[in-house]
Amino acid sequence: MITSIPVNRVLTVIVGILMLAPLPLRAQDAVTDFNRDWRFSKGDQPEAVRELSFDDSSWQPVRLPHDWAISGPFDPKASGSTGKLPWQGVGWYRKKITVEGHEGQRVYFDFDGVMAFPKVYVNGKLAGEWDYGYMSFRVDATPYIRFGQQNIIAVEADTRRHRSRWYPGAGIYRKVQMTVTEPLHVAHWGIFVTTPAISDRRATIRVRSTIENHESTNQEVTVEVSILDPMGASVSTSKKRGTVPAGGSAEVDQQMFVSNPQRWDLAHPSLYRAVATIRAGDKTLGSQTVSFGIRTFSFDANRGFFLNGRRVQLHGVDLHHDLGALGAAFNRRAMQRQLEIMKEMGVNALRTSHNAPAPEVLELCDQMGIFVWDECFDKWDATADNLGGPGNVLPMAVRQLNNFVRRDRNHPCVFVWSVGNEIGTSVDERGDGMSFGRLAGMRDAVRTQDDTRPVGIACHTPNTVNYPVYDPLDLTGWNYGRRYARYREAYPDKPILYSESSSTVSTRGYYSLPLPDSKTDYPGGTEHVSSYDLSATSWSDIPDFEFKLMEDDRFVGGEFVWTGFDYLGEPTPNRRTARSSYFGIVDLAGIPKDRYYLYRSHWRADIQTIHILPHWNWPERVGKNVPVFVYTNGDSGELFLNGKSLGMRTKGVVPPGPRNTDYYDVTYRYRLRWDDVIYEPGELKVVVYKNGVKVGEEVMRTAGPPASIRLTPDRTELSADGEDLSFILIEAMDAQGNPAPLADNTIEFEVAGAGELAAADNGDQLSLESFQANHHALFNGKAMLIVRTKEGQAGPIRVTARSAGLKPATVSLQTMTPPHGN
């Protein structure tokens, strides 16, 4: 029996979490990495489904995950909305495999995501297909596999019917696994761990195991569960028997206690493990290990979000699924780096805009202590690969949500299921918008798989509260401009989150003067947008405005800034010539923009932050005004230019004098601003104070001409697994070692030894240089080189960067064999 979450003023949610890949005890119940030794070809090739007689020797060898479009070339005439890359088309993948085992066993292929409309053929037969490019799915290949012989797996990906508002990628862009089991086995995503009662003294752990029986007779099974604490010690066990009907499935439900539980929390994300071993008589059929957390959270409609009994303000960001120059092909280290950069800024929550993420994203958030707004869809039309029109909205959604929730329900980081984003109303259901019936149906689909978390949606049109479409939902998120105000009046007892805020736009390292008169005034034009952080879109606001809003509206659980990183596509306000967005707090190359430090100074007020902008190379403005801003966690500061004091500034004090608009008055509350600084080259220094005590200082100097290259890797010790990455920041320096902020030199790269060039980028929204070329121009003095290890080759990697007229730079990395091999 499923018990619905009560919808009342305080919505309490208690859940246990994080599902990891199954760990088999026996060879006959094996989960295998299925990502190597594929061949790929782009284009319509219906003969590719054939077996060994088809010659694919001329096809490109690839290792999954793979995005066929990211290598380009960019098309200057193509739409900037989807990144100017060739993502629309058909691609084929083929792989030869010999499956060890015996007749009667089951063989499954588990795909984490294929863009789009994948069809999977086994030995020339259609074994399975799926209809949503962002969703994980399983293909039962059992009827088509020949054990002990060579088999051909062919996958067609067809993106021509997919619709997207950003760059979606193309191909098998997430991992694939092959699972070989006995006919009696744990179902796909069949272990579900919850924690229905938690106190400081003990927690109740509930483990539900769904067992499938493909035999022709009923089967008796024993499920033995052992709970391991974060150090790996067994702290509780349970053993229970059950009967699984022939050709069907059954759930074995077990409960046990854990004493003195360690809570999963943002600062200490403690993870337990439940090891479920399945036996029939004296035969061990297999084992699965599920990591989970013990924690409580709740929403109070008047006081916001609570974790483990204390109020927590959610400082969140929205992130699209692409990884910049690496494209849509998922890479764990690249995602980990993004989250590390966000967490350092003060992020404690992530919204997966606007689709189901790779499962590894949730694993990382579990381990790092980051809450996740888990979102399944953008719209319910062709962006969700729904080609069946309004009548197919609910059937499509239920099918996808079934996989979505079962896959992700064990993650402690997940705190809300979101069924859509910015969807209009369609009360009579003649269109593909929201209705009471559709949202009730989606809510019920979610609760059938998980009744422990709230179901919500992200909204953007206030007048939709005129219709009772939101009644079935537990909470809502609202995008921009305090649009949640009318919902608050209509539903005062339901929680609210600010699912998209800010949408400030800027280009890293680019500044234009004079300062804007309004948020949609873009001095210098829209191709590059000034990084004074005073420009936004017409529907959004600058960060400071949202900071104050969150302080005033404490009933809102927190904000999710649009966006943490720039992403490919949606280049507002320049959709004509740009290839990537301007919204990010960090640019597409992974280099923080100025406002990164504004967020850090506010969200991590206890950590020292002192950041000066703009750069101090303005030869054309000698004797003219160049405003100076400082982002700091201090409350006041004194600015010096070539040793001369330009006066103190204190947060919260708006300077006297006429202003074109009072919109920007709020910026004086969160920034230190010297609006009238007469430029002269030299040294700019700020000394920062907090409560009258000096907390630090920062210096910026006018740079001379570029003289050398500096390389700074984020990591120098890597795993030789063929997937690990080092992100190497490339900078031009002057003869005195100062960064040259305007340098645009073209840098040539050489990667030798146990690594290879994965990609390069400079964060310029207008750049159409190939991400895979062995050269890249600096943009405002910087670029990023991404180096990937070679599988199985432990040893040194030597990276050299050269440019005409600059002193070259070299950095050494070291790769090591993974501890447990591959």
d(CA 237, CA 226): 4
- The Cα–Cα gap between 482 and 480 comes to 6
- Got the DSSP string for 366-429? HHHT-EEEEE--S-SSGGGT--S-GGGHHHHHHHHHHHHHHHHTT-TTEEEEEEEES--B-TTS
Quick: pLDDT tens for 32-41.
999 999 999 9
CA distance linking residue 396 with residue 445, whole number of Å? 11
DSSP type of residue 6: P
The answer to whether 816 and 761 are in contact (CB under 8 A) is no
Dihedral in degrees, nearest 10, Cα atoms 118, 119, 123, 126:
160
- Close Cβ partners of 344 (under 8 Å, ≥ 6 residues apart): 600
Instruction: Name the pLDDT band for 49 (thresholds 50, 70, 90).
Output: confident
Res 379 pLDDT > 80 = yes
Q: For the CA atoms of 65, 68, 74, 78, what is the dihedral angle to 10 degrees?
A: -110
Tokens of 466: 């005129």
Q: What is the pLDDT of residues 109-122, one digit of tens each?
A: 999 999 999 999 99
- The domains found in the chain, sorted by start residue, are 10-20+184-296 (2.60.40.10), 30-181 (2.60.120.260), 360-474 (3.20.20.80), 610-701 (2.60.40.10), 708-816 (2.60.40.10)
Residue 478: how many other CB atoms lie within 10 Å: 25
Please give the pLDDT value at position 29.
57
Give tens-digit pLDDT for 690-715: 999 999 999 999 999 999 999 999 99
For 750, residues 6+ apart whose C-beta sits below 8 A from its C-beta are 774, 798, 799, 800, 801, 802
Catalytic-role residue among 360, 422, 429, 791? 422
Q: Is 683 a catalytic residue?
A: no
Instruction: Confirm if 222 and 209 have CB atoms less than 8 A apart.
Output: no
Cis-peptide, bond into residue 183, ω within 30° of zero:
no
Segment 502-508 shows an average pLDDT of 97
* CA–CA dist 303, 330 (Å, integer): 37
Sequence-distant (6+) residues with CB within 8 A of 482 are 549, 553
pLDDT for the residue 462: 97
Dihedral, CA of residue 250, residue 256, residue 260 and residue 266, to nearest 10: 10
3-state helix, strand, coil in the chain (%, to 5): 15, 40, 45
- CB burial string 390-411: b at 16+ within 10 A, e below: bebbbebbebbbbbbbbbbbbb
Reported as a single tens digit per residue, the pLDDT across 478-490 is 999 999 999 999 9
> In the predicted model, is pLDDT for residue 30 greater than 90?
no
Instruction: Identify the residue whose tokens are 């149906």.
Output: 441
Average pLDDT over residues 205-226: 96
pLDDT in tens, 780-801: 999 999 999 999 999 999 999 9
Q: In this structure, what token pair is assigned to residue 114?
A: 């294929």
Mean pLDDT of 184-199: 96
Q: What is the DSSP string of 553-564?
A: -TTEEEEEEE-S
Give pLDDT, residue 746.
98
In the block, tokens 């998922």 appear at 330
Indicate the pTM of the whole model. 0.95
CA gap 603, 811 in Å, rounded: 34
CA distance 435 to 457: 12
**Nearest CA-CA partner of 319 in 334, 306, 304, 308:** 334
CA distance 54 to 124: 11
What proportion of the chain, given as a percentage, has pLDDT over 90?
93
Average pLDDT over residues 279-288: 89
Find out whether 346 and 604 touch, Cβ atoms under 8 Å. yes
**Cα gap 276→447, rounded to integer Å:** 24
Closest CA to 666 of 490, 536, 487: 536
- In sequence order, the 6+-apart residues with CB closer than 8 A to the CB of 644 are none
Q: What is the pLDDT of residue 820?
A: 63
pLDDT category at 660 given cuts 50, 70, 90 is: low
Residue 1: what pLDDT?
25
Round the average pLDDT of the chain to a whole number and report it: 94
Q: From the CA atom positions of the chain, what is the Rg in Å?
A: 28
Q: Is 817 exposed, middle or buried (CB count within 10 Å of its CB: 0-12, 13-18, 19+)?
A: middle
Q: Establish whether 422 is a catalytic residue.
A: yes
Q: What is the largest CA-CA distance in the chain?
A: 91
Residue indicated by tokens 């993650």: 411
Residue written as token pair 């707004």? 373
- For residue 621, which amino acid is it? R
pLDDT band at 28 (very low <50, low <70, confident <90, very high): very low
Which helix (H) or strand (E) segment holds residue 747: the answer is strand 746-753
Query: One of 212, 500, 638, 731 is an active-site residue; which one?
Result: 500
Q: What is the DSSP string of 785-807?
A: EEEEEPTT--EEEEEEEEETTEE
Phi, psi dihedrals of residue 421, rounded to the nearest 5°: -145, 125
Q: What are the E-state strand segments in 231-362?
A: 234-244, 249-259, 272-280, 283-292, 295-300, 304-307, 310-311, 314-319, 349-352
Position 405 scores a pLDDT of 98
**Identity at 433, one-letter amino acid code:** G
pLDDT score, position 53: 82
Q: Compute the average pLDDT of residues 267-277.
A: 96
Tell me the per-residue pLDDT of 594-646, one tens digit each, with 9 for 90 and over. Answer: 999 999 999 999 999 999 999 999 999 999 999 999 999 999 999 999 999 99
Predicted local confidence at residue 56, as pLDDT: 93
Instruction: Report the C-alpha gap between 101 and 114 in whole angstroms.
Output: 27
Q: What is the pLDDT of residues 733-777, one digit of tens each?
A: 999 999 999 999 999 999 999 999 999 999 999 999 999 999 999
Instruction: List beta partners, residue 241.
Output: 222
What is d(CA 644, CA 636) in angstroms, rounded to the nearest whole number?
A: 17
